[in-house]
Amino acid sequence: MTNKKPLIAVTTTNDKGHTFLHRDYSDAILLAGGIPFVIPSMGDADIEDELVEAADGLLLTGGEDIDPNLYGEEPAPGLGTLTPERDATEKRLLVKFMAADKPVFAICRGLQLLNAVAGGTLIQDIERALPNALQHRQLAPRDHLSHQVEVEEGTLLMSIVRASRVRVNTFHHQAVKQLAPGFRINATAVDGIVEGIESLSQRFVLGVQWHPENLARTDAAAIRLFEAFVQACRFKESIGAGGHSR
Which residues have a catalytic role annotated? 108, 211, 213
Which residue stretches of 57-108 are H helix? 84-99
Q: Is 145 exposed, middle or buried (0-12, 13-18, 19+ CB in 10 A)?
A: middle
User: What does the DSSP 8-state code read for residue 182?
Assistant: T
On whether the CB atoms of residues 35 and 229 are closer than 8 A, the answer is no
185 Cβ partners below 8 Å, 6+ apart? 152, 176, 179, 194, 196, 197
Pick the closest to residue 235 from 72, 32, 4, 40 (CA basis). 4
The residues, any chain, with a CB within 8 Å of residue 154's CB and separated by 6 or more, are: none
- Separation CA 202–CA 204 (nearest Å): 6
Buried b (16+ CB within 10 A) or exposed e, 186-222: bbbbeeebbbbbbbeebbbbbbbbbbbbbbbeebebb
- Strand, helix or coil for residue 238: coil
Distance separating alpha carbons of residues 195 and 208, to the nearest angstrom: 6
